[in-house]
Every structure is written in structure tokens, then in C-alpha cells.
Structure 1
Amino acid sequence: MTLPGEIATERAEQVGSGVSLRVLATTDLHAHLLPFDYFTDRHAPGTGLARLGTLIAAARAASRNCLLFDNGDTLQGAPLADAAVAEIVPAGRTHPMIAAMNAMGFDAATIGNHEFDFGLPYLEASLSGAQFPIVLANANRIDGTSFLPPRHILARVMTDAEGAPHPIRIGVTGAVPPQVADWNRLYVQDQILFEDMLPAIHRQVCALKDEGADIVIVLAHSGQGAKTLVDHPENAALLVAEIPDVDAVIAGHTHRVLPDAPPARVHGVPIVQPGALGSHLGCIDLELQPPLQSDREPQWRVCGARAGTFPVSQSPKNGSKRSHRLLPDFPEVRSLIAREHRVTRAYVARPLGHSATPLETYFSTLAPCRATQLISDAQCAASAPLIAADPALRDLPVLSAVAPFKAGGRAGSTNYTDIPAGALKLRHAADLYIYPNVLSVLRITGRGLRDWLERAASLFNRIDPGKGAPQLLVDHAFAPYNFDRLIGLTYAVDVSQPPRTNADGDEIYDTPGRIRDLSFADGRPVQDDDTALVVTNSYRAAGGGHMQAAAEADTVLTSTTPIRESLARFVTEAPGPLDVTPQATWWLHPLGGVPVIFETGAGAARHNDRLADLGLRPANRPASQPGFASFLMNL
């Protein structure tokens, strides 16, 4: 098996008594332990830490010296995480992800922002089972003590090409986006303070070198970010690589893959980001040069490096195997996995109610849909008594912000919800609302509403009405969970105009804007100085997704109940089968019949009624991204 960035034998020989070190990395596993989709109760061969086990074993076998790290967002995301919160960890068992990492021999890890989603007591209980160090440089308790150890030195004995042993000290530190202080304010306020990543990492790197670390590896739960310093960056992995004495960077958070092809370096420092959900194994190969005899404080140093990612699709085709047959190289974890797998399937199979109509998100970025309407109905029902109890709020217009959490984008062509009409179970509620966000209500101006919608409208590519050839409508780089529609308003989106932001929302452009005919549901035009309430989630209320308009609004109410729980209760308390009707909210501004290509999941072809209603027909051409289906329509 050929691994990315593998160091050639002759190169190691040229170093003489040098040492070759392989650094393996996972990130953003989001509780995907097995190649199994609990939302659909089907196997999902391209995901899961268990699938990576074969790659990890092979990578170790091909290297004399190997370390394995995880970069955070590990304990939240899939129903396995919800079952762990409800049944597994409270029962005193080790969190399944931590138990698997123990058995697979992880050397160290950091945590991501989503680790805080279930609160500090649960997080600390889950991490307590780890048999490897977990580091975090930029989080301190309110009394000034570190929430987790800010750094750690791994003392290892490594062998050179001749088999001679060499003691080497590897320093490790990590950091999380400081925005977690806002995103998880409910859980961390008055308990944890978060520092900007760069100064915190720099301080810990200096300390590691002072304490005798030969090399330093940074686990930055952060995307690449800009190449120039900005205030309070959420994504700063490229800038982390510029910190003196950093020898390798493992990035994450944005679910992207870096590099596309080795090598990938920033100022000579290798950097790797291995996708998400177990899609890739990151691999950095370092060539270490022995200390020079003339050095006053002899330390090993990096004299060569390569970085690459290894997709799980290149591993043996074991995606359909039962859980107890996975991880053949780690038999001690297989029985544990089988037990927790059964617990999770039973947990998410709990009945809630019935739906008279399908709930899918294949067309959610093209028109209002039933899936997001159901979420809106549930969160409005949960917020109504809270708003009615406050005389200062009860007379304001109430809007509801909802987005499709699974609608393609960077997560790929299988990232869609497709719930058939019939029985609704707990797994369906988790499929519709995959995050443990709580309810928030914002007071916002009319100008803020327009800015909010302009950010969401950046999902679309710019369409040139003068071009005869069909143009691609949706930008796959845009995360669909940021495509909010504001129910209670009506508006058109003019995609002939340039967007106000880039796909990530971290760059703002001076453009005329895309939102037209913005009105309240009663037909009254929205004025800049109008005031309204927006029912949304805690992540968005804190400006998550670079939604600056939400961050600048006033948070007037916050519930402690997760929206998913409100959704489940709404379904359970319905007097009969749900018959959800999407409320007319937005539409694409007509451009005189310009042909465009709408790409969505292949399962969309099963929904003939929706295809007909939206004027979609097969495009009979390959999609721009693997696995997507192409449909033609005219604007």
C-alpha cells in the first residue's frame, strides 16, 4: 500500500543517523465511529474511525517511527454522540470514541468547538477516560487555571535506518477557535475564558522549547484562514505555521482536505487537514537530523518534510462488514463497538409520530421545503409562550430563521435528508436537526434583516444573463447550514448580481446586493429602521457562519432546551400525522429564461412531484462534483 508523502529509503540513508518520523492525523470525526448512517439505518462505507483503522495499521507498518493525533470535534455530530450523552457516559462507561482511540493507540489530541456543545460536566466526564494527553492552549477557567493541559512533551525512543535507538522529545500543543465563547455561551459563560489562538500557541511553543522539546507539532482546530493577520481569527492554520519553532501543523474545523497533492508547506512547515467524518487520514513525514556536536543545547531538527492525505476509499472494501468484523488490527475494541452500536440503534429507533408527506432537502437551496418548515413550526411553537410573556416583545413581528443542515455543499453528494412519509422516529428528528443548539430570539432592525439575507444569498454563483450555455447555480463551497430563509418575510434573490460575501462569509464585498422586494408576510415593505424578532438557534445568534447581522442584533431570549428536543416534542404532540406545507418565503428573480444547472443529490430523481413543480428536468451532462445529479431549469 502506497502512502502519501512516504519517504524514500535512499533519502533516509543520506541523513546518516537521521530518523524518519511519520505523523498521522484525524480530525472532525464528529462521533462517526463506524461506517454506519444512524439517520437512515444503513451502512455508510466512506466514513468512520473504524474504517481508518486499516489505514492507520498499514501506515504504522510502513514506518519505523509513527505518532497518531486527533484534532478535535470528536465527541459530537452523529447519533452515537447523543446516545453517549443519554445512556452510555451517564452509566459510567467510557465514551465510545475515547475508548476506540485508546485501543488504537492515539498519542495525543486536542478538542474542537463542538466538544463544548453538551456542557462542561459531560465534556470533562468524557475526556476523563482518555489514556492519552489532551492539550488545549487557549482556554482557562475563570480562576486562571488551564481548562486542559496547554502542552505536553511525548518522550519517545525512535530508531534510525540502522536500527539504532534515539531518544526524541516531541512537543504538542493545540487550540480551538475563540468564537466558542459565543457559540456555546450558555455552557461556558462565567466559567471558561478563550484567548486568541496565535498568541496562546506562540507562548506554548516557546515553553515547549524551553522544556527541551526537539520538535513541536501544533493541533490547530482551525481552517486555513487568511495569509495575513486579522482580528480574532476563527481560521488561522496558515498563520500558525509561521510561528517560530513550529515544525508541523494539523488543521481542521472547516472539513476541507489539504493538501490536494503533496507536498504542502507554509514557509517550509508541513500542514495537513484530513477532511471530516473519517473521510481521510492525514500523513506528515518528517526527516529529523541529529543534533550537531557544536550545539550548546543539542536538539533534533527537521531537515525534510512531506504532507498528504489518504482517502478512506483507498482502504480495503470492508464498508459492508458488521461492526464486530471491523478493526481487525484492534480486536480489543471490537466487542465494545458492537455493544455501543446496538445501544445507539435502539436509542434512535424510539417512535415519535407520523408524517403524511416526505421530508427531504434535495431542493432546499432552490425553494422553500417541508423539512425546514417543520423545524420552523417547532421552534416557533417553543418560543411563542416565551415571547408572549414579555410585554416589550409580544407586539413585534416574529420571524423564524431556518436552514437545511444537510443539503450537499462541502459534505458531498450524500449529505441530504430524505425521510419518506410514514412513521417518524428519534433518528429522523436528529437527521432534520443534527446539532444540539438551543433556542434564541433576537431583536433586529430591517437593515439587519437585509444583511442577514444577503449573507445567505451568497450560496449562489453569479449568473450572466447574456450567456447562452447553462451556468452552474449553486456554489458547492458554500455550507448549506448557512443558507437561512427567514419565514415571515417574502423576497426575491437576483443571482445576476454579485454576492455580498464569499462562500465562507469571511470576506465582504461592496456590491448592490441580491435581495429584492423585501416585505413582511402581510405585504408591508421592510424599512431599514423597522424592528422585528427572529427565532433562531444559539449558534446563529452568536454570529456563527459569519452571520454578522445576527451577531450585531440583541439577544432578548435564550432557552436551555435544545431545538431538537422541541422538534421531537412538536412531532409527538401533533394530534395526527403531520401535513407540513412550506410557507411561501423566497424565490429566484426571473432572468428571462436563462438556462441554469441545479446540482443536487441523486436521490432527488425519486421526487417527481418536486421536479415538476420546480421546472427541473435531467441535464444529461456530468455534474461538476462526483456523485451529484444535474438538472436543467430556466430562470
Structure 2
Amino acid sequence: MSILIRKITFLCLTIILVISSLPRIYQAEAAETNHFPNPFKSKVDIRLLGTTDIHTNLSNYDYYQDKEVEDFGLAKTATLIKEARTEESNSFLFDNGDLIQGNPLGDYKAKINPIKPGELHPVFQAMKLLDYDAATVGNHEFNYGLSFLNETLNDAPFPYVNSNVYHVKKGKGKEKQYFQPYKIIKKIVRDERGFPHLLNIGVTGVVTPQITEWDRANLEGKVYTKDIVQSVKETIPKMKRAGADLVIVLAHSGMGTENYTEMDEDATYALTKVKGIDAIISGHNHKLFPGDFSDLPGVNEEKGTINGVPVVMPGNWGNHLGVIDLSLTTSFGHWKVNNVQSELRSVYNSESETNTIADPDILDAIQLSHEQTLEYVRQPVGNTTANIHSYFALIKDDPSIQIVTNAQKWYLEKQLAGTPEEGTPILSAGAPFKAGGRNGANYYTYIPEGTIAIKNVADLYLYPNTVAAIKVTGADIKEWLEMSAGQFNQILPGEEQTQPLINEQFPTYNFDVIDGVTYEIDVTEPAKYDTEGKLINENANRIKGLSYNGSPINLEQNFIVATNNYRASGQFPGVRNQQSVTMYPDENRQVIIDYILEQGTIDPTADNNWTFTSVLNTPNIQFESSIEAKDLLNENSPIQYIGPSNNGFGLYSITIE
């Protein structure tokens, strides 16, 4: 009992001592503000910094074009990070995933010279210099398989969190999450008077549930996913019980809309309605917020909030830094958010003569990997008799797709020789990976006539996909192409007002061209499917004249289509009706290299197996492409250059007749 009395006496004396000293501490402030501040309430400003979708773009270098660039690279983002920290010392830094895959450097360290146990991946060699606090995984983290991912993350210099990926159960027992579901980051922050306070930030992460479809070959039987929103709802109370003063969500998921359904790919908007979230760092779709979603209800562009929650979506490849400022008050260990402000900071401004300088420390840290990657991608594999480009890949049949589909068919013919399927007609599907859009006016393939190197093949085929063959019917081919035709807006015949041809919400990598059949796309018809493959116009019929070997296609005939594991594992209309699927171990990119090596010299000329159905008396159909494309047009081309458009694009018109 005497011990308890002594403790109480000591506590009382301490409180008296603190209170007696307060007038001296606050004297200056009281004189300036004409009021005596609350001695038990402090104001603390903190700053959350976020990167997303780096895709191993560590330096400001385009390995496909083999040149230095100004508009992306973590080395440039690093400069913005350091500047932002000088403005606010109470700062936290997070990464939102899609980090280890996406350019030749990533492929080199995964496939050609893979990291060894205990070796630090180049991305972490760079990021450890920036003192990241935590990160989450993106869907592309799984592209190289779980073994590589585990080896890579084992040596990460900061914690990884994710709450919606689980181990597949083996026998009875409790569900086991694959990653650490959350982390409580404990950091001393200082208030406006310089006094220290302990702030506990709870951070969790989520990834698109579709990883189990997109990377089925790597993940089937090993992991499964749960809904993003429900996973976060279940994790917030756990973080609170663990002492979290604030809750931050790293959402590797696109924005989405008001109409969220369980297991949707894009869930950020839905997360802003979840109680208990103080800030969200989003990504996945390579878009910007604040910036790209002002039409959604509840968006405050000036404050950078959605439904009152501060959100940043900082683009891709390190081209933007997300900045969230939170003004807090703390009293007796309880924290309250009083004001918020979100913004994006770009590494590049086309109208400015002074752009962000790449951080030399980051460049030094990755120099060896950078040089090794350059040596690898510069190796020649063959020659091309003509230029290969993707400037008009959405407008007409295109050489950058033709070479891919030719190589895939060549490969599949070899694989099926001597098998029961040898006589089944082989088709080949390919899509333009680099066709401008959300990745900017320079995001096109261009390979000049002459030598083709590995860097050029990587430019044609960006992803480490593997070849897949699916068996479908002629009717399935029709639905597959109807889905692809969602790339275009509906055009109104006879309308004299300007009509944009391209549906900017439709990802170009879903615009599959199927070679081996011929067809027209009638853009005066409505789209049959939305961008997610959901039926929206049952009677729509954009695909006209679908033929095989010069005759209307037999809707009941079987075909084998060469594609990739991503498409074969997904739920594309037509594809999802597959009778069988065969996954091959060879990468599509390696197949293209092998094809060129065998041919020696290739003719990439497109076979024009698809065209648009005529749209008469409609003069103002327009689209955007690279300004460089204007030099490839002739005087009588149905495509004509109009002039510069927005964000560095060129504006073109097309006559469809």
C-alpha cells in the first residue's frame, strides 16, 4: 500500500511541476496571439508522400528507345521527395506497388541475371536511400512467380503490407494471410512548438483481386484473394486495437465509380466511403488524382479529397509524387484530423525550361544494373525491311501487331505438329501495348528499318507473358472481337460536329486483333460490352463480314487461337467459353525473338485483315496520336494531320469510306 501511495505522490508532484512551468513555456505565444493556449492540446502537421506504378523505371532512361528522358524515373521523383521533406519534417513515405516489373531492367533481374538469396534488388538499392516507411504489392509483382517475389521482398528495407491475399488452405485450420496485413508505424513527430509526440500510423494495403486470373499459372493452388473493400473494413478495427492513431490505405486499385460490386478491380472510390480511413494512396490504372476524376460525386479537386477523404493517385513510372498534408491536434494521446490537402507534383512540365533534376545518389546506386541492362537489350536478333510503329494501331491493321501474331502462329504450328489438333485451324491474337492513351504522347513503338535488337522486341511486347492456346468456336471468335471493338466510341452518321473515335476508357491492351480471319468493325453500332466485359447491348453487332478462308465463318467450327496466359486466364467474352486451354512455358517475347532469328529478315507489312465499315457523310471523326506520325502520311491518305492537341499529342482526322 505504501508503494502505491508513493507512486501517486510522485505523479501529483510531476503534474504540479509541469503545470507550474507552462506560463514560461507559452509566454511568448500568449503575447503574440492575445490568448493563453490550451496546455493539453497541441497542433501537429504531418505529410504523407506516395509513389505508385514505378515498374522498375528507376533512372530517367527509356530502354526501348535507348535514350535519356525528362518525364519519368524514380531518380527524378527522389528529388521531389527530398524537396517535400524540407518543407515538412513530419513526413512519411509509401509505395503503392507495381514496382519490380515493367521494363527491361525488371526482366533482366528476374529472367536473365536473377537476384540471388540475400541480394538486394536494384529497386531496393535505390529506395533504401529514400527511407520508405512501408509499401504494398501491385498485380504485376506476381508476374514472375511467388518464389521470385518472396526472394525479392525478403530483403526489402521496409515492411510490405497486404490484407486481401491469402494462402490456399491445405487441410483444416484458420485462414492465413500471405503478407503481413498491416503495420503500425511508430514515429516521433513535433508539434508547432517543437514538442515531441508519439504518433502511431496504421497502414494496410490491398491489390486487385483479379491477380488470380491474370497470373493463374503462377498462383493457382497457392493463393486466393478477397474483396478489397471488405478486407479493409475488417482490418481497420485490428489496427485501431493495435494502437493506430491514423489509418492509411495503400490501394493498388483503380478509381472505380459509385456502382461498386464485390471483387471489382477498381475500388478506390468505394474505399472513400469506408469509415475510419484517414488517407488513401491509390494507383494501378496509371491515372492522376487530383486531376482525372472531377466528374465523380463527392470530389473536391481543390482540396484533393473524395467524400472528404484525402486521396492521391500519382500516375506511373515516377512521373508524379503524391503529397497529402494532414493538420492534426493531439490531446492526452488522442489525435484528431482537422484539415487536409492533397496534391500531385510532376517531375516534368513541357512548358518549363527547368525540370526536375535526377538525384545523383539514386543513379549511382543503380549504375551497375543499368549498364548490364543496356548491354543486354542492345544485342541484335535480326533485321526488318520496313519501319515498325504503333502510331495508327487503333485505326488500321498495324505492323507492330502483325509481327507478334505471325510469331505466335509460327510457334503454335510447331507445338501442334504431330498432335491430334494439328489439323485444327490456327488463329493468332495480339493487341497494341503502346498506343498512347493514359501513358502519354510518347508512348508508342517505333523501330526503324534495319537491325532489330532485343530492346526493340521488348518494345513490341512489354510484358513477360507466356504463350497460351485456347480452343474456341467461330461464335466465340465473334464475341471476342465484339469485346475488342469496345475500343471505339459510337459514331453518328451524318453528324457534322466533331466526334472522337477512340474510347479513352478502354485499355488499348484489350483491343485484340485476331489474325487468320477477316472482318469489319461498324462503329455506327453501339458497343456490345463495356470495358469490364459485361454485356450492355445484347443486340449490338459491330463485327461485320467475319470470314475464314474467304467464306463466312462457321459459328460452330473449332479454332485454336494463339494468345498469352493473361488473356487465356481472364474472363473476356468469347475467351471465357473456351473448350480447352494449353499454357506453354515460353514467353511471347522470346517466341518473337526466336521467330526473327529463324527468319533472319522479316517483312512486317500488315495484311489488312480488318477495316472499318464505311461511315458516309461524316467528315469530323477525330483521334489523337503522336505528332511524329504526321510524317508517315501521304497526301491521299484517309488520315490527315490537323495540328497539335493536348499534352503533346497530335490531332488527326479520318475519313471512313
TM-score normalized by the length of structure 2: 0.87
Q: Which one of 352, 358, 370 corresponds to residue 387 of structure 2? A: 358
- How far residue 303 of structure 1 moved from its aligned partner, in angstroms, is 2.4
Aligned in 2, Cα 1:221/1:128: closer, same or farther, shift over 3 Å?
A: same
Aligned residue type for 2:606: P
1:358–1:419 contact (8 Å) kept in structure 2 = yes
1:68–1:107 contact (8 Å) kept in structure 2 = yes
Task: State how far apart, in whole Å, the 2-side matches of 1:606 and 1:91 are.
Answer: 50
Task: State how far apart, in whole Å, the 2-side matches of 1:573 and 1:353 are.
Answer: 9
Task: State how far apart, in whole Å, the 2-side matches of 1:602 and 1:368 are.
Answer: 19
Aligned in 2, Cα 1:467/1:229: closer, same or farther, shift over 3 Å?
A: closer
Task: State how far apart, in whole Å, the 1-side matches of 2:81 and 2:55 are.
Answer: 18
1:51–1:319 contact (8 Å) kept in structure 2 = no
- Corresponding position of 1:468: 496
Q: Give deviations 1:239-296, integer Å, cap 9, x for gaps.
A: 22222211111111111101213323333221211111112111111122214x5xxx
Q: Are positions 1:522 and 2:518 aligned together? A: no
- Corresponding position of 2:610: 586
1:593–1:634 contact (8 Å) kept in structure 2 = no
Q: Give deviations 1:421-457, integer Å, cap 9, x for gaps.
A: 1111110110000000111111223332222212211
1:159–1:165 contact (8 Å) kept in structure 2 = yes
Aligned residue type for 1:344: T
- How far residue 382 of structure 1 moved from its aligned partner, in angstroms, is 1.6
- How far residue 81 of structure 1 moved from its aligned partner, in angstroms, is 0.5
Task: State how far apart, in whole Å, the 2-side matches of 1:581 and 1:372 are.
Answer: 10
Mean Cα deviation higher: 593-602 or 205-214: 593-602
Q: Which one of 628, 638, 646 corresponds to residue 615 of structure 1? A: 638
Aligned residue type for 1:538: N
- Corresponding position of 2:296: none
5 Å-filtered alignment, 1:479-498, equals 479-498=507-526
Aligned residue type for 2:46: L
1:626 aligns to what SS in structure 2? helix
Aligned in 2, Cα 1:18/1:114: closer, same or farther, shift over 3 Å?
A: same
Aligned residue type for 1:571: I
Structure 1 vs Structure 2: percent identity of aligned residues? Answer: 33
Q: Are positions 1:129 and 2:155 aligned together? A: yes
The unaligned stretches of length 5 or more in structure 2 are: 1-32, 170-174, 292-300
- Corresponding position of 1:278: 318
Task: State how far apart, in whole Å, the 1-side matches of 2:83 and 2:579 are.
Answer: 53
Task: State how far apart, in whole Å, the 2-side matches of 1:385 and 1:589 are.
Answer: 35
Aligned residue type for 2:125: A
1:17 aligns to what SS in structure 2? strand
Q: Are positions 1:368 and 2:397 aligned together? A: yes
- Corresponding position of 2:336: 301
Cα RMSD (Å): 2.3
2:525–2:542 contact (8 Å) kept in structure 1 = no
1:414–1:601 contact (8 Å) kept in structure 2 = yes
Q: Are positions 1:199 and 2:230 aligned together? A: yes
2:526–2:542 contact (8 Å) kept in structure 1 = no
Q: Are positions 1:559 and 2:559 aligned together? A: no
- Corresponding position of 1:3: none
Aligned residue type for 1:128: N
- Corresponding position of 1:531: 558
1:541–1:555 contact (8 Å) kept in structure 2 = no
1:68–1:108 contact (8 Å) kept in structure 2 = yes
Task: State how far apart, in whole Å, the 1-side matches of 2:208 and 2:465 are.
Answer: 18
1:264–1:307 contact (8 Å) kept in structure 2 = yes
The unaligned stretches of length 5 or more in structure 1 are: 1-9
5 Å-filtered alignment, 1:416-427, equals 416-427=444-455
- Corresponding position of 1:181: 212
- Corresponding position of 2:653: 632
Task: State how far apart, in whole Å, the 1-side matches of 2:539 and 2:389 are.
Answer: 33
Aligned in 2, Cα 1:553/1:456: closer, same or farther, shift over 3 Å?
A: same
- How far residue 53 of structure 1 moved from its aligned partner, in angstroms, is 1.1
Aligned residue type for 2:76: R
2:224 aligns to what SS in structure 1? strand
- Corresponding position of 1:605: 630
- Corresponding position of 2:347: 312
1:313 aligns to what SS in structure 2? coil
Task: State how far apart, in whole Å, the 2-side matches of 1:508 and 1:474 are.
Answer: 20
- Corresponding position of 2:203: 172
- Corresponding position of 2:359: 327
Aligned in 2, Cα 1:552/1:281: closer, same or farther, shift over 3 Å?
A: farther
Q: Which one of 413, 438, 443 corresponds to residue 384 of structure 1? A: 413
1:20–1:160 contact (8 Å) kept in structure 2 = yes
Aligned residue type for 2:373: T
Aligned in 2, Cα 1:114/1:318: closer, same or farther, shift over 3 Å?
A: farther
Task: State how far apart, in whole Å, the 1-side matches of 2:81 and 2:609 are.
Answer: 48
Aligned in 2, Cα 1:29/1:587: closer, same or farther, shift over 3 Å?
A: same
- How far residue 461 of structure 1 moved from its aligned partner, in angstroms, is 2.0
- How far residue 161 of structure 1 moved from its aligned partner, in angstroms, is 0.8
- Corresponding position of 2:305: 265
1:492–1:589 contact (8 Å) kept in structure 2 = yes
- Corresponding position of 1:6: none
The runs of at least 4 consecutive aligned structure 1 residues that moved more than 4 Å come to 13-16, 314-321, 611-614
- Aligned residue pairs: how many? 603
Task: State how far apart, in whole Å, the 2-side matches of 1:395 and 1:515 are.
Answer: 30
- Corresponding position of 2:45: 20
- Corresponding position of 2:271: 240
- How far residue 92 of structure 1 moved from its aligned partner, in angstroms, is 5.9
1:98–1:127 contact (8 Å) kept in structure 2 = no
- How far residue 95 of structure 1 moved from its aligned partner, in angstroms, is 1.2
Q: Are positions 1:75 and 2:100 aligned together? A: yes
Aligned in 2, Cα 1:306/1:515: closer, same or farther, shift over 3 Å?
A: same
1:158–1:168 contact (8 Å) kept in structure 2 = yes
5 Å-filtered alignment, 1:59-98, equals 59-85=84-110, 86-87=112-113, 89-90=115-116, 93-98=119-124
- Larger Cα-atom Rg: 2
Task: State how far apart, in whole Å, the 1-side matches of 2:211 and 2:53 are.
Answer: 15
5 Å-filtered alignment, 1:96-111, equals 96-111=122-137
2:185–2:202 contact (8 Å) kept in structure 1 = yes
Q: Are positions 1:252 and 2:283 aligned together? A: yes
Aligned in 2, Cα 1:602/1:123: closer, same or farther, shift over 3 Å?
A: same
Aligned residue type for 1:38: Y
2:478–2:543 contact (8 Å) kept in structure 1 = no
- How far residue 91 of structure 1 moved from its aligned partner, in angstroms, is 8.6
2:520–2:546 contact (8 Å) kept in structure 1 = no
2:182–2:205 contact (8 Å) kept in structure 1 = yes
Q: Which one of 198, 201, 211 corresponds to residue 242 of structure 2? A: 211
TM-score normalized by the length of structure 1: 0.90
1:463 aligns to what SS in structure 2? coil
Q: Give deviations 1:23-52, integer Å, cap 9, x for gaps.
A: 111111111111110001111210111111
Task: State how far apart, in whole Å, the 2-side matches of 1:308 and 1:529 are.
Answer: 54
2:494–2:616 contact (8 Å) kept in structure 1 = no
Task: State how far apart, in whole Å, the 2-side matches of 1:454 and 1:614 are.
Answer: 27
1:376–1:402 contact (8 Å) kept in structure 2 = yes
1:339 aligns to what SS in structure 2? helix
Task: State how far apart, in whole Å, the 1-side matches of 2:109 and 2:628 are.
Answer: 31
Task: State how far apart, in whole Å, the 2-side matches of 1:467 and 1:518 are.
Answer: 25
Q: Give deviations 1:559-616, integer Å, cap 9, x for gaps.
A: 0111111111111121x311123223210111125222232111212324xx467422
